[in-house]
């Protein structure tokens, strides 16, 4: 039986939402990027995911800090451990792993009852039907342009909806690719999420004239938490709208 955790700091927006929705009141510290749910009680803001205030976190006397190997920096986590703070590091590269890690955090580490929204997420994705086949590239930044490459959670979700990532075989997980190369990649669609870069109807599609663009919710594409239950329907609708606009 694991120790009871009553004071939790989350360095990952997805996991912040997962804990806050499942057990309100456990969180004593969250990052500046933790935006869901809207109310996080008395949780203190402890900086960004890449630059957390380690001293402030330690001063909160957390029973556990939850982090992610991609979103958080190893030196910060090492400093927390050196200060005697227990850190749980998650890794998420696809949907099955995300579901396992959520179970490990909520049930295994925090001793909570498995939440209903987690079962809802599993069921929603089991029902998802591919739209494709559609080939797309997925920018996550511009200036410079960066896209989803190999082995990404967002790429796995899109694949389950019938969207093949044109750069899924790239050596890098987030390769830098010039806009001119992207435009000539022979894709059916460009998928533009609103985070981490906030692509909009006026900022992104104009770089790829003549190519259908789907503006999608970054939270539903990249977050692993309660949003997963709505993600298949939300993403499918945005993808369909993007393709339909070009017809």
Say how many CA atoms lie within 13 Å of 127 toward its Cβ.
13
Average pLDDT of span 71-77? 96
Average pLDDT of span 17-35? 94
Q: Which domains does the chain have, with CATH numbers?
A: 8-114 (3.40.50.1980), 128-245 (3.40.50.1980)
Position 132 scores a pLDDT of 75
Q: With b meaning 16 or more CB within 10 Å and e meaning fewer, what string describes 83-93?
A: eebebbebebb
Can you give the pTM of this predicted structure? 0.93
DSSP letters for 203-231 = BSGGGSTTS-EEEE-HHHHH--SGGGGTH
Q: Distance between alpha carbon 71 and the CA centroid of its chain, in Å? A: 9
C-beta of residue 150 within 8 angstroms of C-beta of residue 173 = yes
Backbone angles phi, psi at 92, to 5 degrees: -135, 115
Q: What is the DSSP letter of 3?
A: P
pLDDT above 80 (res 146): yes
Average pLDDT of span 176-180? 95
Average pLDDT of span 131-137? 91
The secondary structure element, H or E, covering residue 120 is helix 116-127
Average pLDDT of span 51-73? 96
């Amino acid at each position: 039986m694991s120790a009871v955790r009553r004071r939790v700091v989350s360095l990952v927006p997805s996991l912040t939402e997962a804990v806050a929705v499942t057990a309100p009141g456990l969180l004593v510290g969250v990052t500046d990027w933790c935006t869901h749910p809207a109310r996080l009680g008395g949780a203190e803001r402890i900086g960004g995911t890449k630059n957390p205030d380690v001293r402030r976190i330690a001063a909160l006397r957390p029973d556990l800090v939850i982090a992610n190997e991609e979103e958080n920096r190893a030196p910060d986590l090492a400093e927390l451990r050196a200060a005697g703070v227990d850190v749980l590091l998650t890794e998420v590269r696809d949907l099955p792993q995300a579901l396992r890690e959520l179970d490990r955090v909520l049930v295994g580490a925090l001793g909570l009852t498995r939440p209903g929204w987690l079962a809802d997420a599993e069921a929603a994705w089991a029902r998802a039907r591919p739209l494709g086949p559609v080939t797309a590239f997925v920018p996550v930044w511009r200036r410079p342009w960066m896209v989803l490459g190999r082995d990404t959670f967002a790429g796995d979700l899109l694949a389950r909806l019938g969207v093949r990532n044109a750069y899924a075989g790239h050596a890098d997980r987030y390769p830098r690719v010039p806009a001119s190369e992207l435009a000539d990649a022979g894709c059916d669609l460009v998928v533009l999420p609103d985070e981490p870069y906030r692509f909009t109807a006026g900022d992104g599609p104009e770089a790829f004239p003549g190519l259908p663009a789907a503006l999608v919710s970054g939270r539903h594409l990249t977050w692993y938490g309660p949003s997963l239950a709505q993600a298949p329907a939300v993403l499918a609708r945005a993808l369909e709208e993007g393709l339909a606009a070009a017809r």
